[in-house]
Amino acid sequence: MSRVHPGLPANHATAAWALPLLLLLLLPPTSARPSAGPGYLRRGWLRLLTEGEDCGPCRPELCAAPRGCLAGQVRDACDCCWECANLEGQLCDLDPSTRFYGRCGEQLECRLDAGDDLHRGEVPEPWCACRSQSPLCGSDGRTYAQICRLQEAARARPDANLTVAHPGPCESEPKIVSQPRDIWNVTGQDVIFGCEVFAYPMASIEWKKDGWDVQLPGDDPHISVQFRGGPQRFEVTGWLQIQAVRSSDEGTYRCIARNALGWVEAPASLLVLTPDQLNSTGIPRLKSLNLVPEEAENEESYDYDFY
């Protein structure tokens, strides 16, 4: 252990509460918040079990060297040994005089979580939160949501010598983080293609159909396009809707994203069937071709240069 402390009293009362705490040490944390690397919850129980409520004499030579501290290092509650600081989103000790969950790392502070997602009767809990929410550009060319994310990445990859290139996001060509999907439908039904793009400066989105030179929707009243910012920062999402599809709508559609630095595109195919064709083709065969309706697919997650 990090220092020498008086032993716990060897009596039946101690054994009665020590056993449940030891069992908790064997169980992984169940919180939906980010995991704590070195196991900060276990660390809190170990403090209670081995140190009791008071600090013993400090013996720095007995302190274990902490490793993998993505939020940096802090002194323990007894100001004796160094230990891993708690990451953003992890529980922390709001009262400096307490010492169970631990202290937040560099650029982080302990705040009460009184957000809208609390259910009735729940008590707000203190979590580590980054003091800044301003994006910045890293020397690796990636945009980080705030300084705490960049520092975590820098400590995870020390050989990369990651630093802050400049405040604000990195300028980048558009990146399509959610591509339009190949879909099929029956004549007379509506279909929608979606396309989500990340870029700084913000990108514009246009839609085209292979074989057509005009930008959609053109003058076709049964085709429409919509755009909005988001869902993440520096993203824009566009939709192409075709109402009451006809056989002539079948083909490949392209989402094209542009900004001052470049452009990128992503295609998606539309297969249009008549009711008779649907009956003769069969749903199982369409699924084997990976041409299922968009609403039937599972949501996917995408990785892109905004951390």
CATH of the domain at 177: 2.60.40.10
What tens digit of pLDDT does each residue of 58-97 get? Answer: 888 989 889 999 999 998 878 889 999 999 999 999 887 7
pLDDT of residue 39: 58
Residues 161 and 252 in one domain: no
Q: Would the CA dihedral through 114, 119, 120, 123 be positive or negative?
A: negative
Residues 268 and 210 in one domain: yes
Sheet holding 164-167, edge to edge: 143-144, 136-138, 164-167
pLDDT of residue 207: 97
Q: Is 60 exceeded by the pLDDT of residue 298?
A: no
**Beta strands, E only, the chain:** 73-75, 82-84, 108-113, 125-130, 136-138, 143-144, 164-167, 172-178, 183-186, 191-200, 204-209, 223-229, 235-242, 251-259, 262-273
Residues 203 and 276 in one domain: yes
| Residues 5/50, Cβ–Cβ less than 8 Å | yes
What tens digit of pLDDT does each residue of 148-166 get? Answer: 999 999 999 999 999 999 9
Please indicate, yes or no, if residue 155 is contained in any of the structural domains: yes
Residues 149 and 233 in one domain: no
Tokens of 98: 């307490």
| Residues 185/191, Cβ–Cβ less than 8 Å | yes
Q: How far is CA 54 from CA 105, 155, 292, in A?
A: 24, 33, 63
Q: Is 90 exceeded by the pLDDT of residue 213?
A: no
Q: Is 60 exceeded by the pLDDT of residue 17?
A: no
Residues 185 and 216 in one domain: yes
Residues 260 and 204 in one domain: yes
Q: What percent of the chain stands above pLDDT 90?
A: 52
Residues 247 and 219 in one domain: yes
Q: Is 80 exceeded by the pLDDT of residue 50?
A: no
pLDDT of residue 36: 43
Please indicate, yes or no, if residue 197 is contained in any of the structural domains: yes
Please indicate, yes or no, if residue 53 is contained in any of the structural domains: no
Average of per-residue pLDDT across 120-126: 75
Residues 213 and 262 in one domain: yes
CATH of the domain at 103: 4.10.40.20
Least confident of 31-40, 226-235, 239-248: 31-40
Confidence of residue 129 (pLDDT cuts 50, 70, 90): very high
Residues 157 and 179 in one domain: no
Q: Which of 56, 50, 106, 97 is nearest to 77 (CA)?
A: 97
Average of per-residue pLDDT across 120-136: 86
What three-state secondary structure class fits 292? coil
Q: Is 80 exceeded by the pLDDT of residue 48?
A: no
The DSSP letter of residue 223 is: E
Number of domains in the chain: 3
Average pLDDT, the chain: 79
Name every residue whose Cβ is closer than 8 Å to that of residue 268 and which is 6 or more positions away in sequence.
Answer: 179, 180, 181, 182, 183, 193, 252, 253, 254, 255
Please indicate, yes or no, if residue 228 is contained in any of the structural domains: yes
Residues 177 and 274 in one domain: yes
pLDDT of residue 171: 93
Q: Which of 245, 229, 241, 236 is nearest to 195 (CA)?
A: 236
What three-state secondary structure class fits 15? helix
Please indicate, yes or no, if residue 244 is contained in any of the structural domains: yes
Residues 143 and 191 in one domain: no
Tokens of 74: 């802090």
Helix ranges (DSSP H) in 34-88: 40-46
Residues 234 and 248 in one domain: yes
Q: How far apart are CA 33 and CA 55, in angstroms?
A: 30
pLDDT of residue 278: 80
Range of the domain at 242: 173-281
Please indicate, yes or no, if residue 251 is contained in any of the structural domains: yes
Q: Is 70 exceeded by the pLDDT of residue 141?
A: yes
Please indicate, yes or no, if residue 153 is contained in any of the structural domains: yes
